[in-house]
Amino acid sequence: MIGILGAMQEEITPILDRLDTYETHNFASNEFYSAKYANHDIVIAYSKIGKVNAAITASIILQKFKAKTLLFSGVAGALNPKLKIGDIIYATSLVQHDLDITDFGHPYGYVPGIEIFCKTDERLNALALKIAKAKGINLSGGIIATGDQFICKKDKKDWIAKTFNADATEMEGASVAQVCAQMNVPFFVLRAISDEAGGGAEFDFDKFLNTSAKISADFILEMVAQL
């Protein structure tokens, strides 16, 4: 079983639209969609926005539906100036930028018992790069910073980029990474850039959400086909 997770309905709708048929399961105040795709059993869900929702939904996909691999598809704001709207990036590692117990002498993003940076699965990353090369897609890898904040102010954007050497920011990936890492499940996080996380990001996000989400979703389904 392969799990596919997004944060918003708009992020999984392009995936559901590609399926011939699927079954809907209601559980824990959410909907999960099971189907066959490219000879794989898959389960798809959107978590709703934020780290807690994402962690809950990822846990359900792994425990109730027994997914052995988890792929995250969605959108993000660019921190790296080289990333433009419509570009795609996969996470080499993820960090929670809003974790702050620095008053105790710890670095930002640190919580006792977990690593600051959670690494994604190298085999899945290599597959993504192989697909991108074959399709002539410019896919870059980098650090993605997660927090329960929509970033649209330059000072905050610059702080996250500098503090964590991060390339993009969103609101779910690092919590999903922590769930998968602690349960020993390989995972992959793909984000299409919907805004540049600075002034006007909220307007760009609304304008480019659907097109960016489709870019990410199409790529994720190609990965499923080649797993």
Residue numbers annotated as active site: 11, 195
CA distance linking residue 89 with residue 160, whole number of Å: 17
- Secondary structure (DSSP) of 141-186: EEEEEE-SS----HHHHHHHHHHHT-SEEESSHHHHHHHHHHTT--
Three-state SS at 85: coil
Q: Provide the total of helices (H) and of strands (E) in the chain, helices listed first.
A: 6, 10
CA distance linking residue 187 with residue 150, whole number of Å: 24
104, 124, 173, 182: which is closest to 144 by C-alpha? 173
CA distance linking residue 67 with residue 70, whole number of Å: 7
For residue 203, give the DSSP letter. H
CA distance linking residue 187 with residue 45, whole number of Å: 15
**Can you list the alpha helix ranges (DSSP code H) found in the chain?**
9-16, 51-63, 122-135, 154-164, 173-182, 201-226
